Amino acid sequence: MSGVATPTIREPSALELDRRVFRRRQSKRSVLIALASTVAFAVIVWATVFNTPGWADVQRSFFDPATFVESIPRVWEGFLINLQVLGFSVITVGLFATALALLRTLRGPVFFPLRALAAGYTDVFRGIPLIIILFLVGFGVPALLNIRIPLVVLGTAAITITYGAYVSEVIRAGIEAVHPSQRLAARALGLSYARTMRLVVMPQALRKMTPALMNDFVAMQKDVGLISVIGAVDAVRAAQIETALAFNFTPYIVAALLFVLLAIPTIRLADWYTARLRRREQTGSLL
């Protein structure tokens, strides 16, 4: 830029001040409208749900304060198992999915079998319900090897098999969404294929796929609750046990709340991250 402009301290014109007053009034009006519609919505919910004849019974069996408090320690203990599986799965899914995606982007006839294998894998394992994979892995693998394997490991393996297939497709789409001219530019600079991928393509691909990856991550956070079907006493199974003991469904609500609390920070983080990227790469306003 030629001739750097020195910031001028100046008073906005009367016209601009008028416009600001108008915009402020508009935004105040939007807030009021939002408020009014929220109140109206709350009234409708109250009238249609809380006012129904069965609500008292539902409240007693699903929202019982005493049972709620009593079941927290057990459900929380189970929830820690979910967290373990989730923590391991994030790493294994990440590695496995990236490897699958890279296999599918390899060019050249030599790599045909690898490409075909990766493509076939994603086709098959995206098609099979996670719960079936859990049964197959959870009961099949220990029988096959005839050893005891910790349920956390089996759960992680099953989730990796299924989510690896999903996430690899997201990564592949992200890689392919980076404009080919970027590869040309990197290769022209003398970067190898691997370095081009690592230093130029992947960082850009990662930005494009962040929202989709976060979406899969949130889905995975909830699906770790399915490991209860292979016998793990996780949050869901613990809640089930507590429910049977108390003759009351409130423990399920406790488990649900824990999963929601786990998901919210991730969702907010993803929103914040994508907003930040957009701000950094774009000057001027978004229309």
Partner 1 sequence: MTAPSRTVAPGTALLEAHDLWKSFGDREVLRGVSLDLSAHEVVAVIGASGSGKSTLLRCLNLLEPIDDGQILLGGEDISDPRVDADRVRARFGAVFQNYNLFPHLSVLDNVTLASRVVRRIPRREAERRGMELLDRIGLVDKAREHPDRLSGGQQQRTAIVRAIATDPEVLLLDEITSALDPELVAEVLDLVRSFAVDGMTILMATHEMAFARDVADRVVFLDAGRILEQGTPAQIFGEPREPRTREFLARFTA
Give contact residues for partner 1 (rule: CB under 8 A). Answer: 1-5, 7-8, 10, 12-13, 15-16, 19, 22-23, 26, 283-285, 287
Choice between 1 and 143, CB closer to partner 1: 1
Provide, rounded to whole angstroms, the least separation between the CB of residue 187 and partner 1: 21
Provide, rounded to whole angstroms, the least separation between the CB of residue 206 and partner 1: 23
Choice between 1 and 194, CB closer to partner 1: 1
What is d(CA 124, CA 122) in angstroms, rounded to the nearest whole number? 6
Choice between 48 and 283, CB closer to partner 1: 283
Choice between 16 and 271, CB closer to partner 1: 16
Provide, rounded to whole angstroms, the least separation between the CB of residue 208 and partner 1: 16
Choice between 31 and 199, CB closer to partner 1: 31
Provide, rounded to whole angstroms, the least separation between the CB of residue 173 and partner 1: 16
Cβ pair 170, 94 in contact under 8 A: no
Provide, rounded to whole angstroms, the least separation between the CB of residue 15 and partner 1: 6
Choice between 177 and 199, CB closer to partner 1: 177
Q: Which residue has the tokens 């910790």?
A: 150
Provide, rounded to whole angstroms, the least separation between the CB of residue 193 and partner 1: 25
